């Protein structure tokens, strides 16, 4: 990659070389504005060769979760039949818990069912977690879940599906396209990838001037974002510590009710009560 030596910090170049499709920042750029690549990935996962994706968006903020926990979807796509596909890249076991998949599925229902619409108009949805580790733990490549009646195993047919793709799956006898895709998500070298579309896009961002410059800008923006988040967190921690110290002094001097101290410090009533218990003990 010497063609970039005069223009780009070598540390950044080395980091770009290490990127894999499973890495969040890199994944965003791979899928951004690339319906054919999203379609290829979904065809492999779903096992539907003629699946037609008509729209795709990365970093999609769900707009109708007012008052609830917000969600920004890695990839949201719609096919020609109106089915919704949410692809989530999850390296962390904690972030790939089944409860999160359930929340994604519910949030998508809220987002895509218009006011006063009949419930039968809910779209068929697939929440797909592509994970670095085997979250379920049964050493399988793919796990597919839907609501079923316990006694008879008859499907409810409500249209909601949750799928886990285990990228750590390693079976030399499995030469399926899905197994190859799982391999590629953990692969940093485009020359060792099996899925041509994924390899070509990875190669673009790692070996072309335009692609590398794009990734450099993304990394700088990401670094600034992390720095801002850390600064905000430190500031909040310092502020909370100072407010806690003020609350303790007020409690020790019995100056004001819990409500008064809460209003002065910005701490919750429960936090004030907890501090009071520690003082009394």
Per-residue pLDDT tens over the stretch 71-122: 999 999 999 999 999 999 999 899 999 999 999 999 999 999 988 899 999 9
Decide if 219 is inside a domain: no
The larger pLDDT score, comparing residue 220 to residue 134, is at 134
Same domain, 185 and 246: no
Same domain, 74 and 199: yes
Decide if 185 is inside a domain: yes
Q: Which of 207, 239, 265 is the last residue of a domain?
A: 207
Give the chain's radius of gyration (CA, Å).
24
- DSSP assignments along 191-235, one per residue: GG-S-HHHHHHHHHHHHSHHHHHHHHHHHHHHHHHHHHHHHHHHH
Decide if 214 is inside a domain: no
What pLDDT score was predicted for residue 2?
Answer: 41
201-250: pLDDT as tens digits: 999 999 998 988 888 877 776 665 556 555 665 666 667 778 888 888 88
pTM of the predicted protein model: 0.76
Same domain, 191 and 247: no
Identify the domain containing residue 275 by its residue range: 230-280
Q: Could you tell me which residues come within 8 angstroms of residue 197 by beta carbon, excluding any fewer than 6 positions away?
A: 36, 37, 40
Same domain, 124 and 242: no
Decide if 58 is inside a domain: yes
Tally of structural domains, the chain: 2
Decide if 243 is inside a domain: yes
Same domain, 67 and 139: yes
Q: Which of 207, 241, 271 is the last residue of a domain?
A: 207
Same domain, 179 and 246: no
Decide if 102 is inside a domain: yes
Decide if 223 is inside a domain: no
């Amino acid at each position: 990659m010497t063609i970039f030596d005069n223009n780009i910090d070598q540390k950044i170049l080395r980091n770009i070389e290490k990127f894999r499709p499973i890495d969040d920042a890199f994944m965003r750029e791979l899928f951004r504005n690339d319906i054919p690549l999203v379609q290829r990935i979904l065809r492999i996962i779903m096992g539907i060769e003629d699946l037609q994706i008509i729209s795709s968006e990365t970093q999609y903020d769900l707009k109708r979760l007012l008052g609830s926990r917000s969600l920004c979807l890695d990839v949201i796509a719609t096919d020609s039949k109106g089915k919704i596909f949410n692809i989530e890249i999850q390296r962390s076991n904690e972030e790939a818990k089944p409860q999160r998949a359930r929340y994604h599925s519910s949030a998508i229902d809220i987002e895509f069912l218009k006011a006063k619409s009949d419930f039968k108009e809910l779209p068929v949805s697939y929440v797909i977690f592509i994970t670095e580790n085997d979250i379920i733990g049964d050493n399988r490549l793919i796990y597919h879940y839907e609501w079923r009646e316990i006694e008879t195993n008859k499907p409810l047919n409500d249209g909601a599906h949750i799928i886990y793709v285990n990228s750590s799956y390693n079976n030399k006898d499995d030469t399926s396209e899905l197994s190859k895709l799982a391999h590629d998500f953990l692969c940093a070298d485009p020359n060792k990838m099996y899925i041509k579309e994924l390899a070509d896009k990875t190669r673009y961002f790692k070996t072309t001037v335009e692609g590398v410059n794009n990734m450099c800008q993304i990394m700088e923006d990401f670094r600034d974002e992390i720095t801002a988040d850390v600064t905000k967190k430190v500031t909040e921690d310092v502020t909370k510590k100072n407010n806690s110290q003020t609350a303790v002094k007020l409690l020790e001097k019995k100056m004001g009710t819990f409500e008064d101290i809460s209003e002065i410090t910005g701490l919750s009533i429960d936090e004030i009560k907890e501090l009071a218990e520690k003082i009394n003990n």
